[in-house]
Structure 1
Amino acid sequence: MSHDTFNLDKNQLIQHAFNQMEQHIQDAGYSLRQKLALTCRILFDNGHDSGLAGQITARMEQPGTFLTQRLGLGFDEISAGNLLLVDENLQVLEGDGMANPANRFHAWVYRARPDVRCIIHTHAVHTAALSMLEVPLQISHMDNCVLYEDVAFLPKWPGVPVGNEEGELIASALGNKRALLLAHHGLLVACGSIEEACLLALAFERAARMHLLAASAGKIEPIDPELGREAHDWILRAQRSAAAFAYYARRSLKQPHNADCL
């Protein structure tokens, strides 16, 4: 492509940017275990702390198995070395301790969605507050468009999600979307990579906070659907996810309390 880009239309410039990303942005080189542990620390450092509530899992190559954190440890205590490998029945195959019994619904989502490699469920405070209103999350700002038309809504709280009924309900409510707001509960993100899931969980909580702030001041106005979809696809690129995840990882690893993460 010519270095003179002033005669190109927007679609050509977007494609030009994507081509450059593929050339210049590389994976940071973390192992899958390290990525999952980093995700726990990143989310803790960015408002997703809720004691021992919430689970983060990553699908493994052996069918019906996934990595998750040990019950009894907070997100800020998870490291690559203390993650558990479990099967769909939550039996521990590698590691010490037990998985959170609420991980059962993760297995239902993995069964329903072969494309999903990572699931994040948290009770981040702004998302949890929004969930109490029993209204869908509104995406009406450029920064949040990674979630545009990609957030489902479960308006009924089924209770503690440790039964198979809750797993079926949550997997069905999620459908083919990447995210789900669960009324009176929290958020669920299900993505094709750990990096993407981490970033969408961060975006979800920020969007919920912005929703509450904007709604307290007036009526939230919708954005143009075509532009929302354009922004969604612009942000949701593997190279952008890799770069953003690496940034958040660097930021968290600078904190002394995360020195043991990797």
Structure 2
Amino acid sequence: MKEELLKKELVHISHKVYSRGLTQATGGNISVRVPERDAILIKRSGISLGEVTKEDALLLSMDGEVLEGYGTPSKEYRFHLGIYRTRPDVQAVVHCHPNYAIGFACLGIELPLPTVTAQKILGHVPVAEAAPSGSEELAYFVTEVFEKYPGIKAALMKDHGICTVGPSLEAAYNIATLVEDTANQAFIKMQIQASLPQLSKKEVMK
């Protein structure tokens, strides 16, 4: 029964990620831990997050074997499993391709945190090195970041996207939206600063 509820939630969050514009086409993947099975549910490859159904949720062992379901798991399953092995506290992973956050990721810049909310909730959003999608090398780089900074809730993926984690799918989704909105706000701040070089900080704050 718990597994069925997790499938429904995975579908719900997948649709929210897509409708929020956090990814495009068939990009992005979402997973959730199934503790009693020592396994995870992850969407199958080749399906848009906006069209995911319960049948698209595959049960995957912690060794990467498909235990239940039809199709091929998302090609990024390796870094999902790597995060779960490294972070026992993580129950869900959201990987997506939001535009503003990708801008910083492509530059290899850690996410700026201009607001007190982002500073308090996100704390630190480092960058994982670039590697081909679905590769073992990418899985290593992403897992390495979450191992190096054990308290982080999100990481940028250079030239790729973002990866967020949480105690639930909803929590991981909320972190993804905060990462993208924070990237947007940081971009706006940078644009304002660049367009007003003649004004002092005191004048800008008036």
- Within the candidate set 190, 206, 210, 2:181 is matched to 206
Partner letter of residue 105 of structure 1?
F
Partner SS, residue 181 of structure 2: helix
Q: Any gaps of 5 or more consecutive residues in structure 1?
A: 1-29, 220-262
Deviation at 1:167, TM superposition (A): 2.2
Deviation at 1:152, TM superposition (A): 2.4
Partner letter of residue 41 of structure 2?
L
Higher relative contact order (CA 8 A, sep 6+): 1
CA distance in 1, matches of 2:122, 2:46: 35
TM-score normalized by the length of structure 1: 0.66
- Within the candidate set 25, 29, 32, 1:58 is matched to 32
1:87-126 equivalences in 2 (<5 Å): 87-126=61-100
Corresponding residue for residue 5 of structure 2: 31
Q: Deviations over 1:187-242 (max 9, x none)?
A: 111111112101101111111111222212217xxxxxxxxxxxxxxxxxxxxxxx
Kept after mapping to 2: 8 A contact 1:89/1:104: no
- Within the candidate set 153, 158, 161, 1:178 is matched to 153
CA distance in 1, matches of 2:99, 2:85: 29
CA distance in 2, matches of 1:95, 1:160: 23
CA distance in 2, matches of 1:148, 1:77: 29
CA distance in 2, matches of 1:151, 1:40: 22
Does 2:66 align with 1:78?
no
Partner SS, residue 71 of structure 2: coil
Deviation at 1:71, TM superposition (A): 0.9
Partner letter of residue 45 of structure 2?
L
> What RMSD, in angstroms, separates the aligned Cα atoms of the two structures?
2.0
Q: 1:146 to 1:194 in 2, by over 3 A?
A: farther
Partner SS, residue 126 of structure 2: strand
Partner SS, residue 31 of structure 1: helix
- Within the candidate set 169, 174, 178, 2:141 is matched to 169
Kept after mapping to 2: 8 A contact 1:117/1:191: yes
Corresponding residue for residue 192 of structure 1: 167
Which has the larger Rg?
1
Corresponding residue for residue 160 of structure 1: 133
Corresponding residue for residue 191 of structure 2: 216
CA distance in 2, matches of 1:63, 1:167: 23
Kept after mapping to 2: 8 A contact 1:88/1:107: yes
- Report the identity percentage: 22
Larger strand proportion, structure 1 or 2? 2
Q: 1:53 to 1:136 in 2, by over 3 A?
A: same
Deviation at 1:173, TM superposition (A): 1.0
Kept after mapping to 2: 8 A contact 1:84/1:94: yes
CA distance in 1, matches of 2:121, 2:134: 24
